[in-house]
Structure 1
Amino acid sequence: MNMQEAADRAETILTHIQNGIEPVVTWGRGPSSDPICTDFKNDATGKGQITRRKHVLTIISPERRGSFLGVVERSWKKAGYTITSVNADRRNPSMIATTPDGFRISLLVGYKGQVFLDVHSPCVTESNVADPPVDPGAESLPPNPHDPKDPLADGPWGLPYLKSPFWSAKS
């Protein structure tokens, strides 16, 4: 597998996870990266790694975060992914899993309910990598009212801002 094939596989994993969440949430694209893999002397090995990221733009209320992670966990297990770590912290829960082909997936809840989803490939043959695709409907989203330069926003995308009758509700 080369880096472009790994990027395509990471996109497939992201799409599978997104499609497994009901009711649906709105996602935004996070920064992607494609660093080279190095040996113990930090020399290039001719291999590289892909990271693809998304974040949830829908507000997930504190009361619904456990349910959200439960939905994702069931989806991962159904897909044959191995859950390798679960942090059941009430405010900032997280999960990490691996796929049968060696990709690592992490889902974590951060500051004020930001939900981050990362997919990391194993080291694969180095190659050129196309930019990630633009998410369908991304252009039609209302602008985020939160200041993306807020140091507490934890990234260039700001805080979640779209409401869901289910995910944003208090129980």
Structure 2
Amino acid sequence: MDMQAAAERSDEILDSVLKEIRPELRWTHGPTTVGMCDVTRRRVVMTNISAERRGSLLGLVDRYWRKSGYRMTAINNDAKFPAIYARTQSGFEVSLRIGGKGQAFFQVDTPCVQESEVLDSTSQATAPLYEGMELIPRPNIHSDFWSAGASEEAGGRS
């Protein structure tokens, strides 16, 4: 497998977990980074996830990854910044981390593979792309379910 094939597999891993989440989370692409023999793909969730809903999201993703045959490698139960980490049977490292303002970050790190060019992801983002901006903003999309209990100042409505 070369880096492009590994990046495409990473996209499949990310697409599959995000399609499993209902109601849908709105997300945009985070930066793709390329190492000596590995690739990291990221998805940044733009839906505001309230503190009351973060455990639900982590539990849903944990169950899906286990059902998919992934092995959980670490669980961070921090009240403010929880995270889960797993490894696929083919050695891809996957994570879901909750950051500031309840922003969720999905990431896949590939195993070491054959060097090659890596193209941008062809997966269609469900939130605006922030091309040309230095930083992706904090979550700014309201969901009646995922944002329940969150203050209105934390994000806009959609």
TM-score (norm 2): 0.88
1:165 aligns with 2:135: no
Where 1:118 maps in the other structure, the secondary structure is: strand
Q: CA separation of 1:2/1:97 partners in 2, compared to 1, >3 Å: closer, same or farther?
A: same
Q: Partners in 1 of 2:108 and 2:23 — Cα distance?
A: 22
Aligned to 1:73: 62
Instruction: State the shift of 1:127 in Å.
Output: 1.1
What residue ranges of structure 1 are gaps of 5+ in the alignment?
Answer: 37-47, 150-155
Alignment: residue pair count: 148
Where 2:106 maps in the other structure, the secondary structure is: strand
Where 1:128 maps in the other structure, the secondary structure is: coil
Instruction: State the shift of 1:131 in Å.
Output: 1.6
Aligned to 1:9: 9
TM-score (norm 1): 0.81
Residue identity matched to 1:164: S
Q: CA separation of 1:128/1:142 partners in 2, compared to 1, >3 Å: closer, same or farther?
A: closer
The Cα RMSD (Å) is 1.9
Q: Render the CA deviation track for 1:5-35: whole Å, top value 9, x for unaligned.
A: 1011001001011011111110110000111
Give the alignment of 1:45-124 within 5 angstroms.
48-124=37-113
Q: Partners in 2 of 1:4 and 1:142 — Cα distance?
A: 22
Residue identity matched to 2:83: S
Larger radius of gyration: 1
Aligned-pair identity (%): 43
Residue identity matched to 1:106: S
Moved over 4 A (4+): none
Instruction: State the shift of 1:126 in Å.
Output: 0.7
Q: Partners in 1 of 2:41 and 2:123 — Cα distance?
A: 12
